[in-house]
Structure 1
Amino acid sequence: MTTRPTQMTLSSRAWAELILLSVIWGASFLSIRIALDEIGPLTTVAHRVGWAMLILWGYVLIKGLPIPRAARIWGAFLGMGLLNNVIPFSLMAWGQLHIETGLTSILNAATAIFGVIAAALFFADERLTPRRAIGVGLGFCGVATAVGLNALTSFDIRSLGQLAVIGGTISYALAGVWARKTMKGLPPQVAAAGMLTGSSLIMIPAAWIVEGPLSFALTLQTWSAIGYYAVVATAFAYLLYYRVLGMAGSGNLMLCTLMIAPVAIVLGAIVLNEALPMRAYFGFAILATGLLVLNSGQKRKN
């Protein structure tokens, strides 16, 4: 499911779909926060992976894509579901109970920073070059600025919420390593459906045990939020992601990370009346600079 970073010249269509993907994922933070008003964070995630799994398997069957049979592959799906869905989705959903959606999206942008570090630790061909080291350093400075020194001096539930989101980004980074080591050669749509199956097998029982039986007697607002983040921001977004990846290359997809946060910040301000501290914006600016440094070092591919 992962591809070595490459950078291509973007066509107008690639730009349009890259922006669409950024808007979709940026709005997912708001929809998740709305659902959390009625259901718990684990139940929120169970709905997300469960419905998205059904949709993607439907797509796989309609397209006639081959379904893996080997136990090793299904074990890889289970591990990928844990690292790329169960852990980060749950930590970030819980974190959103205690911090703003905009701040969650800013901290989420650190995924690319931790991804570079994880790749350097596990793969010999992903060494930490001076340019990458500068980008990573700026990224850490940006995260530290967004979080604020007071989170270290006066540790509270808000500080824990921020750490939970950062923990989710680390899990995303490890998922990239897992995918490269265990899921090569699979059609990306099948890999995504298998991953969501693995996460559903973990998440649905976990939510049931911790938060009680899944209730379907929810308000229209909650179902609308679930429909958005499960159908649009997960199932459809995965399919769109691989389409954009083919057109734009993995290096340019880092630009999506930069565009998600502004969307989430604006929607949080308009719908939820959120107001982020100025340090959050400064932190995002520093983090974005670090991501641009990383992106500028990718090799171009025609």
Structure 2
Amino acid sequence: MSVGTAGPPPLAACAWEMALASLVLIPVAWAVDGPRTTIDWTPELVLLILYFGPVATSFCFVVSAEVGRRISVFAMSNLTLGVPIIGTSASVAFLGERLSLGSLAGFLLIISGVVIAPWAVKRKA
């Protein structure tokens, strides 16, 4: 806990924030997609759930929070803009997925934003 702050550390509150968000989003998912009638509980599915939930998501969240404390908000914002580009590129490279026109347009918008943002900040200063 930092000196001069009250309450729990921010990362401790994040677990509750995500749990509450899940409770709110479950009814929304049911309303949009309808209830799931069957789930094929294969060993692979169970392992994926156990890995992606507590391991991959939590680890990446904590690392992201720690990096965010050490670099500027501007740099962190630009780093997080790379997430959809890396994820989509990985799915194309490793899963054989095809890029849609919408994904390509999104890539161009993200890259444009990353290029224009520093220029706009320098121009304003």
Q: TM-score range by the shorter chain?
A: 0.5 to 0.7
Out of 53, 58, 82, which is 1:235 matched to?
58
1:1-302 to structure 2, matched below 5 A, reads 187-203=9-25, 206=27, 210-211=34-35, 218-277=41-100, 280-281=103-104, 283-295=106-118, 297=121
Instruction: Name the CA distance, whole Å, in 1 between partners of 2:117 and 2:75.
Output: 11
**Aligned-partner Cα distance in 2 for 1:280–1:208:** 26
Deviations 1:131-165 (A, max 9, x none): xxxxxxxxxxxxxxxxxxxxxxxxxxxxxxxxxxx
Cα distance in 2 for residues equivalent to 1:200 and 1:286: 30
CA offset at residue 244 of structure 1? Answer: 0.4
Give the structure-1-normalised TM-score: 0.31
Match of 1:25 in 2: none
C-alpha displacement at 1:252, in angstroms? 0.8
1:206-235 per-position Cα deviation (integer Å, ceiling 9, x unaligned):
3689525895x6223323432343223422
Distance in 2 between residues matched to 1:200 and 1:283, nearest whole Å: 27
Counterpart-to-counterpart distance in 2, 1:199 and 1:279: 28
Q: Which amino acid aligns with 1:225?
A: L
Structure 1 residues 266 and 290, CA gap change in structure 2 (3 angstroms): closer
User: 1:287 is aligned with what amino acid?
Assistant: I
Instruction: Tell me the distance in 2 between the aligned counterparts of 1:241 and 1:191.
Output: 15
Q: Distance in 1 between matches of 2:38 and 2:12?
A: 27
CA distance in 2, matches of 1:224, 1:270: 23
Query: In the aligned structure 2, how far is the partner of 1:295 from the partner of 1:191?
Result: 32
Contact 2:92 2:98 in 1 (8 A): yes
Matched length:
114
Q: Percent identity?
A: 23
Matches of 1:256 and 1:194, distance apart in 2: 25
Q: TM-score under structure 2 normalisation?
A: 0.63
Inter-partner Cα distance in structure 1 for 2:117 and 2:30: 41
Shift of residue 277, structure 1, vs aligned partner: 4.0
What runs of 5+ residues in structure 2 fail to find an aligned partner?
2-6
Secondary structure, aligned partner of 1:243 = helix
Q: Secondary structure at the match of 1:274?
A: coil
CA shift for structure 1 position 242: 1.3
Ranges in structure 1 where 5+ consecutive residues have no aligned partner: 1-64, 66-184
**Does 1 or 2 have the higher relative contact order (CA < 8 Å, sep 6+)?**
1
- Distance in 1, matches of 2:98 and 2:30, equals 34
- Which amino acid in structure 2 is aligned with residue 227 of structure 1? L
